[in-house]
């Protein structure tokens, strides 16, 4: 499996193909494709709408599965591409060659040495990707007819409710800043050489 994953292996090419496709397809297209497959063709999930948790765990969860998947496709593709590039770069370093020379197994070299040292760029992209999630919420809620902050934002813009627009913008900004602060603090965990 490790050999298949290596840079240029068949698994690597398949994953990068899917991540390129996922990163280039807009959220609303992914949403409509999910509705077509899982709601209309297979009839496993409801088409649109939202059920409260008080209606039961499965009705609540079934209404959230497709929107969560549609919203996360671009984000997962971005993280996959950055993870691949960071790990591929880490695999060329001297400490990887040293770990292999010591007789450490390939899986342990990949996880404990390469992935651990490639974690800082990955965590950085995760923090930056929150902006993608916030921007995608508006479109996803519109496609799946979910009443949330995205729909509230659209309604506030259409009705020119400036205090509400400012409040929502401030809320999203505070969330974004807090997540980026947590990402910066997490650098200390992943790379002890970093000091603030």
Looking at residue 44, what is its pLDDT? 92
pLDDT < 50 positions in the chain: 1, 3-4
Q: Tokens in use for 136?
A: 């995608």
What is the pTM (predicted TM-score) of this model?
A: 0.72
Answer positive or negative: Cα dihedral of 8, 12, 18, 23: negative
Looking at residue 196, what is its pLDDT? 64
User: In degrees, to the nearest 5, what angle opens at C-alpha 109 toward C-alphas 105 and 110?
Assistant: 120
Beta carbons within 10 angstroms of residue 151's beta carbon:
17
Among residues 106, 16, 161, 143, which one has the least CA distance to residue 169?
Answer: 161
Residue 147 φ then ψ, to 5°: -80, 115
Give the integer Cα–Cα distance in Å for 71 and 94: 38
Beta carbons within 10 angstroms of residue 92's beta carbon:
10
Looking at residue 130, what is its pLDDT? 81
Give the integer Cα–Cα distance in Å for 60 and 51: 5
Looking at residue 27, what is its pLDDT? 84
Give the integer Cα–Cα distance in Å for 19 and 96: 26
Helix (H, G, I), strand (E, B), or coil: what is residue 52? Answer: coil
Give the integer Cα–Cα distance in Å for 194 and 155: 44
Quick: pLDDT tens for 115-163.
888 888 888 888 888 877 887 788 888 888 888 888 888 889 999 999 9
Helices (H), ranges, 25-118: 27-34, 57-90, 94-101, 106-108, 116-117
Looking at residue 111, what is its pLDDT? 84
Give the integer Cα–Cα distance in Å for 182 and 130: 12
Domains and CATH numbers, the chain: 2-190 (1.10.3720.10)
Interaxial angle between packed helices 57-90 and 27-34, expressed in degrees from 0 to 180 and rounded to the nearest 10: 130
């Amino acid at each position: 499996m490790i050999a298949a994953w290596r840079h240029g292996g068949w698994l690597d090419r398949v994953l990068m193909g899917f991540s390129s496709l996922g990163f280039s397809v807009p959220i609303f297209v992914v949403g409509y494709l999910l509705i077509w497959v899982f709601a209309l063709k297979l009839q496993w999930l409801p088409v649109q709408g939202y059920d409260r948790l008080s209606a039961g765990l499965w009705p609540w969860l079934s209404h959230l599965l497709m929107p969560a998947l549609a919203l996360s496709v671009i984000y997962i593709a971005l993280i996959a591409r950055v993870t691949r590039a960071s790990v591929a770069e880490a695999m060329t370093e001297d400490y990887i060659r040293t770990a292999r020379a010591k007789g450490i197994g390939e899986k342990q070299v990949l996880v404990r040495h390469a992935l651990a040292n490639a974690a800082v760029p990955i965590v950085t992209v995760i923090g930056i990707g929150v902006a993608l999630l916030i921007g995608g919420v508006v479109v996803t809620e519109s496609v799946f007819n979910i009443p949330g902050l995205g729909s509230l934002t659209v309604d506030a813009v259409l009705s020119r409710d400036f205090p509400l627009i400012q409040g929502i913008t401030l809320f999203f900004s505070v969330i974004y800043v807090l997540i980026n602060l947590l990402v910066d603090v997490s650098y200390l965990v992943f790379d002890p050489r970093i000091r603030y």
